[in-house]
Amino acid sequence: MPSPVFSSRELSLDNLDSIFSLLRHELGNPLNSLKITLEVLTQNYQHFDDEKRLAFLQRALEQVGRQHKFLDAMKTYYRSNIFDIRPVPLSAVWNAFVHQSRMKVLEKQIDFKQTLEDPELWGLVDGAAFNRVLEMVFDNAVDAVENTDGACIEAFAGRSNGHMKVSVTDNGCGVEPDYLHKVFTPLYTTKEEGTGLGLSVCQRLMDKMNGWIEFSSRPAQGTEVVLWAPLAGKEMVPKIDALHPEPCESESAEPDEAGADGP
């Protein structure tokens, strides 16, 4: 039976309700605590000794720190810009991603499998932004399999329906169908240390690259996140000669490696 899918294309202004409610919670709670802390300190200033005053001031600073952390996370969201959309060889993005991912699972009991189906594909994306999206999706998969026996994450890259298709599948905790529509909402998180900005930034970046994300999940079974992005047309892809105009002497002595240079 297929898993319920939520596409980032289905986001609507209804989500503003949850965003405002989360904002009120995230900024309102520490602000309230700060107010109470300062009120108690002011009312009892004469009776408190230096040690107690210092403790109250430190508590107030911690509460300001929480608001700061939250505002920093918001900055990450609106600064997630796309600078440079152009033909990018999928193999280059993939190699960087696989290397980073292997480092991340090195000390963990996670089996990481990856398939690059077509190393000749070129996407029309911002390479750095696409890599950031992949990293954030992978980090979520790592979090999701934290308590899974036989934890496994599989990544796939290839072509489907005239698009570049990149997927990350895990066999972790999954998401209840009732919460599926929330995963792209800014600030929605189920993690103690989460910001709830990973997938919303991913959605924003993919949208700017004329792509989108599909998120399908089953509780206690796992999650598949699929990134769809435009392919670069053949006419857009630089010729090999243009990429390597004049091989230097030492390189020209080496035999060509098949598939290393893209199409």
Interface characters, 29-48, with Mg ion (x: CB under 5 A): --------------------
d(CA 235, CA 244): 18
Contacts of 175 (CB under 8 A, 6+ apart): 183, 215, 217, 219, 223
Determine phi and psi for 216, rounding to 5 degrees.
-125, 140
Examine residue 140 and tell whether it contacts Mg ion (CB under 5 A).
yes
Contact status, residue 230 vs residue 122, Cβ threshold 8 Å: no
Smallest distance, ligand ADP to C-beta of residue 140, A: 3
Find the shortest distance in angstroms from Cβ 44 to ligand ADP: 38
> What is the bridge-based pairing of β-strands 163-170 and 212-218?
unpaired
Q: Is 186 an interacting residue with respect to Mg ion (CB under 5 A)? A: no
Region near ligand ADP per CB under 6 A, out of 47-55, 172-180, 238-246, 248-256: 172-180
* Interaction between residue 198 and Mg ion (CB under 5 A): yes
Q: What is the dihedral of CA 96, 98, 99, 104, to 10 degrees?
A: 120
CA distance 65 to 63: 5
x/- contact string, 217-236, with ligand ADP (CB under 6 A)?
------x-------------
Report what 170 binds from ligand ADP, Mg ion, none; CB cut-off 5-8 Å by kind.
Answer: ligand ADP
Closest CA to 134 of 184, 111, 103, 168: 168
Task: Please identify, among the stretches 29-37, 133-141, 210-218, 253-261, the one whose residues bind Mg ion according to the rule CB under 5 A.
Answer: 133-141
Considering just the CA atoms, what is the radius of gyration of the chain in Å? 24
Q: Give the distance from CA 93 to its chain's centroid.
A: 15
Nearer to Mg ion, 198 or 211 (CB): 198
- Whichever of 141 and 237 has its CB closer to ligand ADP, that residue is 141
Q: Write out the residues near ligand ADP by the rule CB under 6 A.
A: 140-141, 144, 170, 172-175, 183, 188-191, 194-200, 223
Q: Write out the residues near Mg ion by the rule CB under 5 A.
A: 140, 198
